[in-house]
Amino acid sequence: TGCHALHVHCHVSGEERWMAPPQLRSYIFRREMQLVLDCFIYADAAILSSRRAMAEAPVYVHLNSHIPALDCCEFWGILGERATWRAVPISMFESLWGEVLHEGPSCDVANHPPEVLPSATKDAIASDVIPAPLKQTGSLGG
């Protein structure tokens, strides 16, 4: 994939007030992300066809929130390969139930791709400050 990567930033929550609660905003961003990526591909079709490395770029979705459990970066797949994209939650209930059962997307540090983690966090993982089970669950695209 080279040096190209697409980073999509979504503002889930912060100090301002929104009508939708942060959990709902996070769910909506995840639910609609395939549409967002389809729009990138459609709008930039000429660039992606002439520069194959850009079409082969990994996609990272940053869900930015002041709530630690909702603040994360998720690997979503390869931009030009729709089959690699992360599955979308079917319903809000399914999304919340997955969180209760600790399934589905996780905003845990283990879900952050290593290349987007701050160096201090990478050092903590390397020196076993972060427990081994978290390291093992940090597979990309899962």
Does residue 61 lie in a domain region?
Answer: yes
Does residue 132 lie in a domain region?
Answer: no
Does residue 20 lie in a domain region?
Answer: yes
Does residue 54 lie in a domain region?
Answer: yes
- Expressed as residue numbers, the domain containing 91 is 6-109
Phi, psi of 127 (to 5 degrees): -95, 15
**Model confidence band, residue 119 (pLDDT cutoffs 50, 70, 90):** low
- Tens of pLDDT, residue by residue over 16-28, are 777 788 888 998 9
As for how many domains the chain has, the answer is: 1
Structural contact between residues 116 and 101, judged by C-beta atoms closer than 8 angstroms: no
Q: Which pLDDT belongs to residue 139?
A: 33
Q: Which pLDDT belongs to residue 19?
A: 78
**Interior angle at CA 83, CA 77 and CA 84, nearest 5:** 20
Does residue 134 lie in a domain region?
Answer: no
Does residue 32 lie in a domain region?
Answer: yes
* pTM (global) more than 0.75: no
Does residue 115 lie in a domain region?
Answer: no
- Tens of pLDDT, residue by residue over 78-113, are 999 999 999 877 666 665 555 545 544 456 544 555
Q: 109 in helix, strand or coil?
A: helix
Q: Which pLDDT belongs to residue 142?
A: 33
Candidate ranges 10-24, 56-70, 128-142; pick with highest mean pLDDT: 56-70
Q: Which pLDDT belongs to residue 32?
A: 93
Does residue 117 lie in a domain region?
Answer: no
